[in-house]
Amino acid sequence: MRVIAGSARRLLLVTVDGNDTRPTGDKIKETLFNMLNFELPGAVFVDLYSGSGAIAIEALSRGAQKAYLVENNRKAAACIQKNLETTHFTEQGELMICDVMAGIRKLEGRGVKADIIFMDPPYNHEYEKNVLERLRNSSLVDDSTLIVVEASKETEFDYAQEFGYQLEREKVYKSSRHEFFRRKSATAEASENE
């Protein structure tokens, strides 16, 4: 696995042995970052269920200013640390070894405002639903924050509107999908309810 583009282009990344994590393939990663291109320069990027850290590192390589990588698995966290060192992003990339909900609480407590939140939780456990519900009233998110969810192709997001999210776009691949959400602004919600 490697960094596709930007300042760390072509640098190789280590991944976790076994099936504990599921790295996003290069083709899908490239498609994702082509869609994020205009959002990235100077962005604060939060990577939940970070795995090897490849997504956050790609974001930093392409111009994000800061990335927070939240990962609970110790082996994966060791890979992230190594990958941050290899790509020289130890200052811009901050590893948080904790579960996602604790990571969100810590970031809120520090007053962090995310421009982009990416999550790629284990498939078919509804973790993304729990996180979207948690983020709906979070100070980490405002109406301009883009939330990107990687999920299995079969995953339903019919609850998202009820949680106050607007689907901006989606991209469906062979076995997975990316959903792009923003929180509905208060004015948009008010006009919908009229």
Q: Please give the full DSSP string across 59-89, using - where no structure is assigned.
A: HHHTT-SEEEEEE--HHHHHHHHHHHHHTT-
Write out pLDDT tens, residues 6-42.
Answer: 777 767 777 877 555 556 677 888 999 999 999 999 9
Closest among 133, 135, 174 to 46, alpha carbons compared: 135
Is the pLDDT at 2 greater than 90, yes or no? Answer: no
Cα distance between residue 46 and residue 55, in whole Å? 10
What pLDDT is recorded for position 139? Answer: 97
Write out pLDDT tens, residues 85-123.
Answer: 999 999 999 999 999 999 999 999 999 999 999 999 999
Q: 5: pLDDT confidence band, cut at 50, 70 and 90?
A: confident
Q: What is the pTM of this model?
A: 0.91
What pLDDT is recorded for position 186? Answer: 56
